[in-house]
Amino acid sequence: MAATPPQSWEYLETLQGVELHRLYRTSPPSALAIYRKLLSGLAKHYVTSLLFSPTPMPVNHFELVTRVDANAEKVKAFNQLKKYNIVRETTFQGKRCISIVPDFARSYRRVLDGRGEGNPFGQVSSPPQSATEPTIEKLDAHSQRQWDGILGYMVGGNVIQDLQEPGEELPAPAEAVVELLRVGHLVTVGGTQSRGRYAMGITAEGFAFVLQNINTQIWRLLFLYVEAAEQLNMDKIDVLSFIFFIASLELGLAYSTEDLTETQLQVLTTLSDLGVVYLPDNTTDYFYPTRLASTLTSDSSDTLSSTANKLSSSLHTSSAQHKKSIAHPGNPTGSGFIILETNYRLYAYTTSPLQIALLSLFISLRSRHNNLVTGKLTKASVQQAINTGITAEQIISYLSSHAHPVMRRHAAAEEAILQSRAVMAAAANSGGTTDIENNTGVTQIRVPVVPSTVVDQIHLWQLERDRIQTTPGYFIKEFQSEAEYRACSRYAEEIGVRRWYDDRKRMFFVDQIEGVAAYMKDRKERASGTT
């Protein structure tokens, strides 16, 4: 099996310390993005408490400010911080201390206080006041078109072409993007490179990819691009910092290309192919970031789903769809188009060929109407999807993120009923007011948007196939003494990385080595120090 390229954000973990330092030093937006997107809540707090501290803080200080029962969280936070080269251990006045890496601290402080120079956050340019200035809707449409083109290409051009109406063809993705998909093992392109569009096939990873949310997808491609940068004679840190720079810009404003380097201009073209930025046709003096760009570093599900909704609403171009969405006034938390009943029947209010093609991956479609597609989740259709590499989780998350407001309202109402029942658990027998079809969640307040019977069944269908579960990790064995085995094993369990153990053979298996390794080293040093 070929080496799998790193999935999305894990790519950053593969960077060398020197490269990360250079990224932090040259680009405050990168420092902000990594802080905001990748660190856990506790790690963020450690960074901010160190940020303006004049001296390094002793290690035991962090033990004092963290609750004892949050020890696992603490170890996780420090592993993260060390992995991304944000803090390091030093010795200060004879004590073991934690200090923040100056390159990161300087950049992040510049973000916070806004001082410094070099225009790290982009020069806003004022384009000539003409009618050609794109509105936000137009930017959304641009990114949606580009992105649909890519996904449509992956799902299979032929299927799409049969479905779509004349005059609404999706654009073919640019050569560079196709190359990215190929390098990332998302598609395989056949020998006839010139007619590559027709000789391609989607891989198992590609199937999984098309069902992910748009933010995950785009980062996957961007990191693939960063990785491929060196083959295109670009420096990967420059590319990465430019992507983070784009992510920090504001939607709807024009930014000047005046100060950009040759590399950055080259990246800009690719980003335009992906729909992340919009380049006006007639001039190269400025560019517009799209909604895809401005939400790149957001991690809240609210903003992400609103991105998806805003984009997917522009997707439904047919007027029938518009009437439909007016008839069902949208819930603020989202306006999907899929209704899934507890009897596995599915109704999708969509005319988009792409969405229909996606649905057909795991649903046996029955009929297509003016604005509606009907189908059914069957064992055969789900298992066929699982055979191609899609997981049950991906199907469920796709269904729930595109659920129709009616389903959301239903789930919310049910949740409220269950909640009030839980509150009045003492007087439970007086109720019996509403017939609730799933009675499993009395103790659990959250009701899934997708009916729980369906969720369970999809999982079961997958389990019929998956009888083995793999966890990459580290196997630790050959302990010299029982006491040492016990201490290490217990520590591994406490910080929540121990997956399997055998007390008799004195061996255990962990999925993350950093914490345990540090602990074992520490133990060894202490043991040798006392004797």
Partner 1 sequence: MNTTTSNKRLIAYVDSGQSSSGEMNAVDATDRAATHQEVEAPSLLTIILDTNPHAWALLADTLPLSKAVANLLVFINAHLSINYANRVAVLASHSERAEWLYPTPAPHLPNNNGDNSTVQPPDDANKYRPFAQLEYALLTNLQTLLRTTTPASISSSPSTLLAGALTRALTYISKQSLSTGPSQTGNTSFNYSDPSSVAGGNSLNPSDNVVTSRSSQRLTTRILILSVSGDLSGSYIELMNTIFACQRLSIPLDILKLSGSATFLQQAADTTGGIYLSLTTPVQRAGLLQYLMFAFLPDPAARENLVMPGETEGVDFRAACFCHKRVVDVGFVCSICLSIFCEPLGDGTCLLCGSHLSMGNYGRKPVVVARVKKAKTGTGKKRKVGDGVETPGSGGGGTPVPPG
Name residues contacting partner 1, limited to 5-44 (CB under 8 A).
28-29, 32, 35-36, 41-42, 44
Q: Which of 127, 280, 441, 496 binds partner 1 (CB under 8 A)?
A: 441
CA distances from 187 to 98, 196, 236 (A): 45, 11, 23
Q: Does position 260 bind partner 1 by CB under 8 A?
A: no
- Residue whose entry in the numeric block shows the structure tokens 């093992």: 185
Q: By C-beta, is 214 or 315 nearer to partner 1?
A: 214
Q: By C-beta, is 413 or 428 nearer to partner 1?
A: 413
Q: How are strands ordered across the β-sheet holding 57-58?
A: 57-58, 95-100, 87-92
What gap in Å lies between CA 46 and CA 53, rounded to an integer?
A: 11
Q: Which of 18, 52, 55, 136 binds partner 1 (CB under 8 A)?
A: 52
What gap in Å lies between CA 290 and CA 272, rounded to an integer?
A: 9
Supply the minimum distance, in Å, between the C-beta of residue 419 and partner 1: 7
225's CB contacts (< 8 A; 6+ apart) are 180, 239, 267, 270
Q: By C-beta, is 149 or 289 nearer to partner 1?
A: 289
Q: 188 is written with which tokens?
A: 């395989």
What gap in Å lies between CA 449 and CA 364, rounded to an integer?
A: 21
CA distances from 299 to 23, 37, 111, 215, 513 (A): 21, 6, 19, 9, 27
State the binding string over 282-321 for partner 1 (x if CB under 8 A, else -): -------------x-xxxxxxx------------------
Supply the minimum distance, in Å, between the C-beta of residue 5 and partner 1: 16
Bridge partner residues of 502 (DSSP): 507
Q: Which of 455, 492, 495, 497 binds partner 1 (CB under 8 A)?
A: 455
Supply the minimum distance, in Å, between the C-beta of residue 219 and partner 1: 14
Please list every residue from 190 through 249 that binds partner 1, using CB under 8 A.
Answer: 248-249
Q: 528 is written with which tokens?
A: 């040798």
Q: Does position 254 bind partner 1 by CB under 8 A?
A: no
Nearest to 344 by CA among 447, 435, 458, 437: 458
Q: By C-beta, is 98 or 229 nearer to partner 1?
A: 98
Please list every residue from 329 through 348 that binds partner 1, using CB under 8 A.
Answer: 331-333
Helix (H, G, I), strand (E, B) or coil at 72: helix
Q: Does position 488 bind partner 1 by CB under 8 A?
A: yes
Q: How many residues bind partner 1 (CB under 8 A)?
A: 97
CB hemisphere CA count around 414 (13 angstroms): 22
What is the dihedral angle through the alpha carbons of 230, 5, 217, 268, rounded to the nearest 10 degrees?
0
Q: By C-beta, is 92 or 500 nearer to partner 1?
A: 500
Rounded to 5°, angle at Cα 324 from 321 and 330 = 110
Within 10 angstroms of residue 69's Cβ, the number of other Cβ atoms is 7
Supply the minimum distance, in Å, between the C-beta of residue 114 and partner 1: 4
Q: Which of 4, 166, 478, 504 binds partner 1 (CB under 8 A)?
A: 478
Q: By C-beta, is 206 or 451 nearer to partner 1?
A: 451
Q: Does position 169 bind partner 1 by CB under 8 A?
A: no
283's CB contacts (< 8 A; 6+ apart) are none
* Choices 80-88, 161-169, 193-201, 452-460; region in contact with partner 1 by CB under 8 A: 452-460
Q: By C-beta, is 186 or 392 nearer to partner 1?
A: 392
Q: Which of 55, 132, 343, 444 binds partner 1 (CB under 8 A)?
A: 444
Helix (H, G, I), strand (E, B) or coil at 319: helix
Please list every residue from 390 through 429 that binds partner 1, using CB under 8 A.
Answer: 393, 397, 408-409, 412-413, 415-416, 419-420, 423
Q: Which of 6, 58, 473, 496 binds partner 1 (CB under 8 A)?
A: 473
Please list every residue from 81 through 110 that binds partner 1, using CB under 8 A.
Answer: 110
Supply the minimum distance, in Å, between the C-beta of residue 409 and partner 1: 6
For residues 398 and 211, the answer to whether their CB atoms sit within 8 Å is yes
CB hemisphere CA count around 122 (13 angstroms): 25
Q: Does position 66 bind partner 1 by CB under 8 A?
A: yes
149's CB contacts (< 8 A; 6+ apart) are 170, 171, 172, 173
Q: Which of 12, 34, 111, 237 binds partner 1 (CB under 8 A)?
A: 111
Supply the minimum distance, in Å, between the C-beta of residue 2 and partner 1: 16
Alpha-carbon torsion (442, 448, 453, 458), positive or negative: negative
Supply the minimum distance, in Å, between the C-beta of residue 440 and partner 1: 5
Helix (H, G, I), strand (E, B) or coil at 448: coil
Q: Which of 113, 258, 262, 281 binds partner 1 (CB under 8 A)?
A: 113
What gap in Å lies between CA 36 and CA 108, rounded to an integer?
A: 11
Supply the minimum distance, in Å, between the C-beta of residue 497 and partner 1: 12
* Choices 88-96, 128-136, 215-223, 450-458; region in contact with partner 1 by CB under 8 A: 450-458
Q: Which of 21, 45, 106, 376 binds partner 1 (CB under 8 A)?
A: 45
DSSP states of 263-290: HHHHHHHHHHHHTSEE--SS-SSEEEE-
* Choices 149-157, 335-343, 378-386, 443-451; region in contact with partner 1 by CB under 8 A: 443-451
